[in-house]
Structure 1
């Protein structure tokens, strides 16, 4: 198996609310938008973020785990500077994110903050000063 990820698919409760957040709020442009079913965004040269209506997801994949707390996964968006971290977090706040954790300096030398989408999926917005990692994750 090749070492790569092609799709990341998240099951969402309200695809219309998700559309408002990602398209209207964050300014993302879907590659595919099937109302009531799925939206797909190109998230990298060979990576698609798929936001799939929960009922459609469960019909194909199976029942979702449920309970309180945060989903045990984060999606990272790396940027070139701490100022860009703060700008992205401000955009998420203006888009209606239900949770924005301000950027802070981390023990490992980077600067990160978090926001949640309408379903609570956490996005880490990060500046990592390591040039080797920057060569991998920055455009």
Structure 2
């Protein structure tokens, strides 16, 4: 098996609210949209973020549990600390229910977090290291 990730799929409780947040709020453009079922965004050369309506998802994968902070984070890396603050401001304007201001981190970078309508946490980070630079376009 190749060492790669092709899709990240998040099961969402209210696809319409999720659509408003990502499209109207953050300005993202879907690569595929099946109304009431799924939204897909190309987030890398070979990576797709899929936002799957809970009712549709449970038919295929079974029951979904909710509550608390999901034990996963997604990251959006940028080239400067100023861009971190700009993206967090964009998330606030988009209606992110929780935004944690960016701070300098022990690992040498600068990052903050926002949550989407389902509570999935996005880290917005400037990572000055080699691995950080390797994920920038």
Shift of 1:64: 1.2
Unaligned runs of 5+ in 2: none
TM-score norm. by structure 2 comes to 0.97
8 Å contact 2:78–2:136 — kept in the other structure? yes
TM-score with structure 1 length normalisation? 0.96
Question: Does the CA-based 8 Å contact 2:127-2:133 persist in structure 1?
Answer: no
Q: Deviations over 1:6-60 (max 9, x none)?
A: 0000000111100100000100000111111000000000000000000111110
CA distance in 2, matches of 1:55, 1:4: 28
The structural deviation recorded for 1:66 is: 2.9
Distance 1:100 1:63 in 2: 29
Q: Which runs of 4+ in 1 moved over 6 A?
A: none
Q: CA deviation at 1:65?
A: 2.4
Partner residue in 1 for 2:127: 128
Instruction: Look up the SS of the partner of 1:10 in the other structure.
Output: strand
Query: 2:40 maps to what in 1?
Result: 40
Task: Give the root-mean-square deviation of aligned CA atoms.
Answer: 0.8
* SS of residue matched to 1:33: strand
Aligned to 2:9: 9
- Select the residue among 125, 130, 137 that pairs with 2:135: 137
Aligned residues: 137
Confirm or deny: 8 A CA contact 2:77 2:126 kept in the other structure.
yes
Unpaired segments of 5 or more residues in structure 1? none
Q: What is the rounded CA distance, in whole Å, between the counterparts of 1:10 and 1:19 in structure 2?
A: 13
